[in-house]
Each structure stands twice: as structure tokens, then as C-alpha cells.
Amino acid sequence: MLGTLLFFLTIIFEIAFATYCIVTKQNHKKFKNWMRIGEGLIFFILIISSTITWSFRWILPLLLFILLFAMAIISLMRNRDVQYKTFRIVRNFIATTLLIVLAFAPVLLFPQYKIAKVTGDYDIATATYTYVDENRTEEFSDTEQKRFVNVQFWYPETNSGSYPLVVFSHGANGVKASNTSTFKELASHGYVVCSIDHTYHSFFTASNDGSITMANKDYLSEISNANKEDFYTREELHGLIQKWMTLRTDDINFVIDTIRSKSKKENAPVYKLINTDLIGVFGHSMGGAASVGIGRKRNDIKAVVNIDGPLFSELVYDQESDNFISNNKEYSTPLLNIYSDDVWEQLESNSTYAANNTIEKSGKEVYSVHFQGAKHLSFTDLSLVSPILATVLQGGKASIDKYECIEKENELIVKFFDHTLKNTGPFSFEKTY
């Protein structure tokens, strides 16, 4: 709110000043310069007093106000009279307004926000690692580079105890930090959370050596085209889906196996705390689909949470009907599905969500929850970090309160993992929130 207020006040001043100059047919240089100095001083005071919480979003506005402040000081010192011209006033107004818009873009896109509630008793520690899979060659590279993934852990900051491991897989263009509020909530309740960046599937990933790897262009093109009606045939789309699932489930398998190995022989605090007999997986969107796939493939997975994802791993392409159907095989791992309006409305269709509805009937312990008013990104921290970007990417604004949605989602996930991994008793939930 503060960033938006400062932006509009600055723009209003520029409009008012330009209008005043044009109406009076004067430059009003001294007035403008003193106002520029005043704006700069007010901004500096807001920073020094911590009214503005300093972060990357304020770097460009700071540079802008320093520039305007310096220009005003120099103009006052030179004290040169310039003949009034309407064209010059309009030109300066347009140039300054464009600078203001560009400078405040990060503030408007990523406004200051409060953190979702963390309700557990444990303080939280975090650690990042780069794992290299010597058994896989990177399919997105022309060289013989080995597949690598970056992971981040959130875990209880304690030297004692043993805690369940839960592994997270992000959405199609997401990042490993996409659901940090959920990770912190789980860690505060006694879980070790490991979130994976699926290299070349994640928007970007930062390795421990400082290198940055962006999403693969061909993969991004596939995702974009898959969302266009009839761009791919059903059979072609099924082939792409299985390719995506193979990469992601291989990544999750590799990460779990790596953690299992390291927990036996490494002394890093995070590995010593993990109980490898209690493992859950969860994910958002495509990551939810991969989590369900892993829950079927591995017998050491005790629980799965799918957050608004199509169950790609359960889909079969039926050549006769040229459509998707469910494999209808019994799903034995306890599963919690959390759905937005967008997905809930497709559960009865033969879209890529064709298997979501049938798994509830064929599974031994499957729960499905609908959040009314939620959209696809309501279940990620992007709805807090950048409400504008979330609205654009998901094709509309969610009507549910963003904090209420995430905090209730976190509460359900903790309760479900408590039920399945800590054996705390029955899982209580409501069908609709």
C-alpha cells in the first residue's frame, strides 16, 4: 500500500505541476526544484525511519529520487532563466512520468506484504545444496553434462529428535521457493522439508557455485502450446505429459535416494534430523502430478498431497475415443487433493483432469478439498509476493482472501501429514472452504 501511495502522489504532483505551468504560462523552476528536494527528503526519512522496509524493490525509486534531488540542487545553484515553452513542459512531464513508472514498477509488482502465520513451536533453519546425478545425462544440454538439481531445506532448529521428511515439487514454471510459507509452517511443526528446483523446468535456479540456469525455451514453448486449444492432438499431448513426468519423477527419486544416503554418513545438521522411514511428497500443479506419480512408484512414500494439479501419471490415452481416461488402478498411498475453482469445475470432464475424479473412488485413502473463490496461484506465495503478477498469470483475480487461503491450506497440509506420518489420529477436514 505504501509503495502504491507514494507512486500515485508522485504522479499527481507531476500532473498538477505541469498543468499549473501551462495554465500560468510560466516555468516555476524554483518551486519545482524545492518540491523535488522535498520529495527526496521525505523519501530518505521514510527509509531511515524504517517506514519503508528496505528491499530490492526500493532500489530504483531511491536512484530516481537521488537523481531528481541532485538535478534540483544543480538547477538552484545555476539559477538560469529559461523562456517558457509549452512543448518543453509537456516533454519534461512525459519523460519524468516514464522515469517514475519504470522506477516504481518493482514496487507495484512486488509490494511489501506480511508473512503468512507460522504457528508451530520450532524455530526454523534452512540450507541449500546442489545435487549432481552421475547416472543421468542432461537432456537439455548439447554437452555430456550430468543432470543436477538444486534443493533447499527448511527444518527445526534443534540438535535433537528425528523428524519426517516431506519433499516438494514446484509447478510448471515455478521455483523451489514458491511455497515458502508452507515449508516454514511444516518445519515449525517438526518436519524436514526439501524443495526441489527441477532444472530447466523451473523459471530459474541458482546453484551453490553461483551459476544461474534459466528455464529451457523449448520446454516453455511446449507448456504455452499445451494450453492452446487443439494445438496438439490428444496423443501428442499425452506424449509430452509423460516426458515431463519422467523428468520430474526421476528428479524426485534421485533427491530422496540422495537424502537417504547422506542421512547415513554426513554430519550436516539437516541430515541428522531426518527419519527416513517417514517420507511424504507434495507439490503444486505439475509438481502435484509428479508427487502422485512418485506415490505410486515408491513403496517408502507414506503420504502425498496434490495441490491443484492434474493427475498426469494416472492418465491413459485411449486411441478408440481419441481422449484421456484414467488407468483406474487402485491407489494405495494416502492422498490429499486441494483444488481451486478452476480445477474443481473440470473434475467431471475428459480434460487432463480426467483421472482426478476417479482416483478418489479407486484409492484406499483419498481426500479432496475445494477452496471456493481460489484460483490456481492462490495456493502459492506468489499471491502474496505479487498479487498483480498472480492475477495476470492465472487469468483473473481470486475472490478468496489470499492470507485465509494460504493459512488454511497450510493448516490442512500439516494436519494431513500429522495423520499419515506421525499417526496423530483421524484427519478431520471440510469438503469445501
pLDDT, tens digit only, all 433 positions of the chain: 788 889 999 999 899 999 999 999 999 989 999 999 999 999 999 999 988 888 888 999 999 999 999 999 998 888 787 888 999 999 999 999 999 999 999 988 888 888 899 999 999 999 999 999 999 999 998 888 999 999 999 999 998 899 999 999 999 999 999 999 999 999 999 999 999 999 999 999 999 999 999 999 999 999 999 989 889 999 999 999 999 999 999 999 999 999 999 999 888 999 999 999 999 999 999 999 999 999 999 999 999 999 999 999 999 999 999 989 898 888 999 999 999 998 998 888 778 888 998 888 777 899 999 999 999 999 999 999 999 999 999 999 999 999 999 999 999 999 999 999 999 999 999 999 9
Residue 88's contacts (CB-CB under 8 Å, 6 or more residues apart) are 82
Angle separating helix axes 234-265 and 286-297, nearest 10 degrees:
70
Residue extent(s) of CATH 3.40.50.1820 domains in the chain: 124-422
CA distance linking residue 433 with residue 417, whole number of Å: 19
CATH topology of domain 124-422: Rossmann fold (3.40.50)
Cell 539559477, located at residue:
79
CA distance linking residue 119 with residue 121, whole number of Å: 7
Q: Let me know: does 293 contact 335? Beta carbons within 8 Å.
A: no
Cell 534443493, located at residue:
151
Q: Let me know: does 193 contact 166? Beta carbons within 8 Å.
A: yes
Strand bridging mode 163-169 / 146-156: unpaired
Q: Which cell is 75 given?
A: 538547477
CA distance linking residue 356 with residue 125, whole number of Å: 35
